[in-house]
Structure 1
Amino acid sequence: MDLAVRRGELTGTAWERIAPLLPGVDGRGRLWRNHRQVINGVLWRPRTGAPWRDGPERYGPWQTVYERFARWETDGTWAKLLGHVQVRDDTAGTVKWTVSVDSTIARPHRHAAGARKERTPAGDEPGDPARTVGTGHALGRSRGGLTTKAHLACDGRGLPLAVVVTPGNVNDSTVFDTVMGTLRVRRVGAGRPRRRPDVVIPDKAYSSRAIRRALRGRGIRAVIPERADQKANRVRRGQAGGRPPAFDRELYKDRNVVERCFARLKQLRAIATRFDKLASRYKAGLQLASLILWLREPGQDPLSGRS
């Protein structure tokens, strides 16, 4: 570990992996403020959950740190960085294409509500009222109050391959196609991105004929437990109910990697609790947290101070 690096900052190894991918000048042709300094400031915020303007002075002006985070969210830089490290691992053959899919709920802080519609980037805000039932900005009202739901597809090591954000009152199964459509790892050189896992392992919430049929049509093995009500209905219908769907109980035990992934992501307070008014900003935080997981070395966390 780099002894000059403070707790919660990028280690030298993690920095070396992403440094060549960062832009050298901004959109107006001027040099950026030191990328490593500012990115460490960006990481400080989701780790602590504190307001941007309370950031330590060692990371530079808080306006610079926030604007860098917001600009790179808008132009897709955080997503591109995550995609680059996924390509690197896939090329090395370390990505395990036994994919687990699940979702988790994040409670929004009171400051996460109240974003004005005119501040929303056109066509780039998940959970827009025109497309999704809820209050907009991926805030959904259910019996427990306002919530946001993060949907993940993780590889067999528990590293995120796809991230989707919706209101918390959206049913998991209705977002399954979106999650699978977001899953794409580019090839080095020519060739289409890889979009088809070997196996997909969701939980009972995704048990439906439509999902099983879609996976079967793409040649993907589905390991989905049958819900009790579906089983009872099939048995009640007798021979007309058909055969029970194939289910590999031993392989299903590997699904816990997505639960462990959620636990690691929620070590960052701004992921466990949503403070961002815009869902696109919260999703960028998830992408940044996912990037940190991909940057880790075996037995070591890419953020200093933890191993």
Structure 2
Amino acid sequence: MAGRGELTDAAWERIEPLLPRVDGRGRPWRDQRQVVNGVLWRLRTGAPWRDLPERYGPWQTVYERFARWEADGTWAKLLEHVQGAMTRWAGWSGPSLSTPRSTAPISTPPVPAKGGHARGGDELEDPGRSQTRQALGRSRGGLTTKVHLAVDGRGLPLSIVLTPDNVNDATAFGQVLDGIRVPRVGTGRPRRTPTRVLGDKAYSSRAIRHLLRRRGIAVTIPERRDQTANRRRRGRLGGRPPAFDADVYRERNVVERCFARLKQFRAIATRFDKLADRYRAGVVLASLILWLRETSP
């Protein structure tokens, strides 16, 4: 019987075949499920790796497995597999917004960063040069990280991008949109184009609207006040106001609800990892858990 926060039997059956196999050389690997549950315990509690309970095995083993699977893309592959298993994903093949499941709401909240939970070798080399590379930016609250997230209409993560907090949200929009890649079961290209994109005023720019128009994606993003005032000041030269449907925009709340669910994992709500790749791997794993919970029979 699975403990609190651990993988259920149904969830384990779905991901176990996709985990790396032991090649038979060297020492035998510790039980895979035990290790994954150990990673989930740390993700849920936000505790230092050294405080991992003994029932999950040596903390060094659990951490090294977590880091290895981040480096070889195992966590990302698991998430893509579970996303692709949703063969009846309504809306992606339709030309209209008949169902919100094809929308891609986007949002970007800052996450405070705390140091001290990484293993040896994870320390930042030179704070002056490497903070940007590690997605750390200084704001009023200190060093923080922005998590740019695109979700589907049910609030399940599709794309994850990290930037320092002092980076403008709109500059990461292209990366977030390009990160939407849901494999199909069988043959065929991955699903990469939602029917509509919903975003807040931080993503209101001509470049973003032109990008979505070129890709044939409907857009629901409110115009900022300064943009509205500037357009009216220019008169006819300012052009028409962008189309905006307030009723459709209400569906953007699913991305905020997704962040609320992700922040139930304390290691996501507060960044303890000094390396951006480690922190992002935690967000990917937490997203995988959300997908498994949603799609469990």
* TM-score where L is the length of structure 2: 0.90
- Segment of structure 1 superposing worse, 18-27 or 145-154: 18-27
1:135 Cα offset (Å): 4.5
The answer as to whether partners of 1:24 and 1:32 remain within 8 angstroms in 2 is: no
> SS at 2:80's partner residue?
helix
The answer as to whether partners of 1:26 and 1:32 remain within 8 angstroms in 2 is: no
2:116 is matched with: 111
1:166 is matched with: 163
The answer as to whether partners of 1:135 and 1:141 remain within 8 angstroms in 2 is: no
Return the alpha-carbon distance in structure 1 between the equivalents of residues 113 and 59 of structure 2: 23
Matched, 1:58 2:63: no
The answer as to whether partners of 1:25 and 1:31 remain within 8 angstroms in 2 is: yes
> SS at 2:163's partner residue?
strand
1:44 Cα offset (Å): 0.4
Return the alpha-carbon distance in structure 2 between the equivalents of residues 98 and 201 of structure 1: 7
**Structure 1 31/112 Cα, relative in aligned 2: closer, same or farther at 3 Å?**
closer
1:28 Cα offset (Å): 5.0
Return the alpha-carbon distance in structure 2 between the equivalents of residues 274 and 83 of structure 1: 24
**Structure 1 177/62 Cα, relative in aligned 2: closer, same or farther at 3 Å?**
same
1:23 Cα offset (Å): 2.1
> SS at 1:111's partner residue?
coil
The answer as to whether partners of 2:124 and 2:274 remain within 8 angstroms in 1 is: no
Task: Kindly report which structure 2 residues correspond to 1:73-152, keeping only aligned pairs within 5 A, or say none.
Answer: 73-89=70-86, 91-93=87-89, 96-111=101-116, 115-117=123-125, 129=129, 134-152=131-149
1:212 is matched with: 209
Return the alpha-carbon distance in structure 1 between the equivalents of residues 24 and 137 of structure 2: 36
Deviation per CA, 1:237-264: give whole Å up to 9, x if none.
1111111101111110000000000000
Return the alpha-carbon distance in structure 1 between the equivalents of residues 73 and 175 of structure 2: 18
1:191 Cα offset (Å): 2.0
Return the alpha-carbon distance in structure 1 between the equivalents of residues 13 and 271 of structure 2: 30
Equivalent pairs: percent with the same residue? 67
Return the alpha-carbon distance in structure 1 between the equivalents of residues 12 and 39 of structure 2: 14
- Segment of structure 1 superposing worse, 181-190 or 197-206: 181-190
**Structure 1 205/112 Cα, relative in aligned 2: closer, same or farther at 3 Å?**
farther
Return the alpha-carbon distance in structure 1 between the equivalents of residues 282 and 23 of structure 2: 21
Matched, 1:197 2:194: yes
Deviation per CA, 1:81-131: give whole Å up to 9, x if none.
000000001x2325721110111111111327982349xxxxxxxx9958x
1:175 is matched with: 172
Return the alpha-carbon distance in structure 2 between the equivalents of residues 157 and 48 of structure 1: 25
**Structure 1 234/55 Cα, relative in aligned 2: closer, same or farther at 3 Å?**
same
1:123 is matched with: none
1:290 Cα offset (Å): 0.2
Aligned residue among 237, 253, 265 for 2:250: 253
**Structure 1 62/220 Cα, relative in aligned 2: closer, same or farther at 3 Å?**
same
**Structure 1 27/268 Cα, relative in aligned 2: closer, same or farther at 3 Å?**
farther
Q: 1:53 is aligned with what amino acid?
A: R
**Structure 1 188/128 Cα, relative in aligned 2: closer, same or farther at 3 Å?**
farther
Return the alpha-carbon distance in structure 1 between the equivalents of residues 141 and 6 of structure 2: 35
2:229 is matched with: 232
Return the alpha-carbon distance in structure 1 between the equivalents of residues 173 and 76 of structure 2: 20
The answer as to whether partners of 1:137 and 1:279 remain within 8 angstroms in 2 is: yes
> SS at 2:144's partner residue?
strand
Deviation per CA, 1:206-263: give whole Å up to 9, x if none.
0011100010000000001011111111111111111110111111000000000000
> SS at 2:20's partner residue?
coil
Count of matched residue pairs? 285
Return the alpha-carbon distance in structure 2 between the equivalents of residues 86 and 156 of structure 1: 13
